[in-house]
Amino acid sequence: MNRKKRKPTFVLVIPRFEDIFHSYYAGEIIRGVSLSASRLRADYLIHIVDRGEHKGWLDSSLMDRKFIDGILFADIDNDVNVVKNAIRRGMPCMVLNNILDEPINYVAVDNWTAAYNIVKLFHRQGHSEIATIAGDVSTQAGLKRLEGFREALAELDIKTPRTYITFGDFLRTPARTAAKKLLNLKKRPTAIFAASDVMALELCHVAQEMGMRIPDDLSVVGFDDNPLIQSSSFPLTTVSQPLAEMGRIGAEKLFQITRGKLQLPYKEILPTKLMQRKTTKKVTNDDS
């Protein structure tokens, strides 16, 4: 096949999520990539991979430049060697959702600052008992949200017990377990940052089942601005992140890289936006 005459073809590598075809993250990334591919008249092959075993992410068929122009990684689960292996084989690559110190192309979201600002919001509202249901810290998004949370507490000189740090792995069932642990503490938190909206809504349901009122008894902030919020009875305060835009920019910049039209390495960090709704509330010293 003559590579110059065929249609540009790329691979989108997506680590497998629970119920991936209903995953907000995966859906938004695919939507953004699709918008770009349509405009550029390029094809994208979606390669869904095992998150626990990275060695199988890239096989010989994906690394043949006669058929594949470049690889767009939706996430790399902090395994930068996967990308380095592709680059060593001469494959143009773009990484999404990871900020990298190495000379590797990426488009990412500022997860650290978003989490940091959530703690500052809670503090401005008078909260000092602040907890979190962290995401999957094997992903950079999950790790940076937890790091931003912890750094803000340290700067504010708020000392929290270890029991205030729980893990929901971005999943409903673990988030429910984490919510029960937090809300059954003798001195339970007055404010909780859940590192995804799915986990935040699960937290809200657990609190409601326990007879708590949100935000009167508990302030909650999520992350994603997931459309699930629209059908929920909880108008969730959350962080809007430009996932589709990240996918679109990543795909367009990768296309430019393959045409030699972009200075390398290309690095872009996209801002987030705090969407203040009705699941947080100012408290007085008596309330907290």
**Can you tell me the distance from the alpha carbon of 264 to that of 28, in angstroms, rounded to the nearest whole number?**
26
What residue has token string 């592709």?
Answer: 86
195 falls within a domain: yes
Cα–Cα–Cα angle for 33, 38, 42, rounded to 5 degrees:
85
**Integer CA distances (angstroms), 39 to 99, 158, 251, 252, in order:** 27, 49, 11, 9
Same domain for 145 and 43: no
145 falls within a domain: yes
Structure tokens at 86: 């592709």
- pLDDT for 2 beyond 60: no
Name the band, by pLDDT with cuts 50, 70 and 90, for residue 284. confident
Same domain for 225 and 263: no
Same domain for 56 and 144: no
- 78-128: pLDDT as tens digits: 899 999 999 999 999 999 999 999 999 999 999 999 999 999 999 999 999
The parent domain of residue 148 ranges over 111-240
Are 241 and 109 in contact by the 8 Å Cβ rule? The answer is: yes
- pLDDT for 11 beyond 80: yes
- pLDDT for 287 beyond 50: no
Same domain for 137 and 30: no
Same domain for 157 and 222: yes
Same domain for 220 and 117: yes
Same domain for 228 and 159: yes
Same domain for 182 and 170: yes
Give me the percent of the chain exceeding a pLDDT of 70: 97
For residue 185, give the amino acid letter: L
155 falls within a domain: yes
| CATH code for the domain in which residue 100 is found | 3.40.50.2300
Which pLDDT score is estimated for 205?
A: 97
- The SS3 call for residue 210 is coil
Name the band, by pLDDT with cuts 50, 70 and 90, for residue 4. low
Structure tokens at 123: 């503090």
Count of structural domains within the chain: 2
**Can you tell me the distance from the alpha carbon of 6 to that of 50, in angstroms, rounded to the nearest whole number?**
30
Which pLDDT score is estimated for 288?
A: 44
280 falls within a domain: no
Q: What is the mean pLDDT of residues 121-136?
A: 97
**Can you tell me the distance from the alpha carbon of 276 to that of 79, in angstroms, rounded to the nearest whole number?**
34
- 101-110: pLDDT as tens digits: 999 999 999 9
Structure tokens at 229: 């919020």
Which pLDDT score is estimated for 238?
A: 97
Name the band, by pLDDT with cuts 50, 70 and 90, for residue 1. very low
Beta strands 9-15 and 130-134, pairing class: unpaired
272 phi/psi in degrees, rounded to 5: -110, 175
264 falls within a domain: yes
- pLDDT for 18 beyond 80: no
- 191-216: pLDDT as tens digits: 999 999 999 999 999 999 999 999 99
Range of weakest confidence among 65-79, 119-133, 172-186? 65-79
Name the band, by pLDDT with cuts 50, 70 and 90, for residue 153. very high
184 falls within a domain: yes
Same domain for 124 and 227: yes
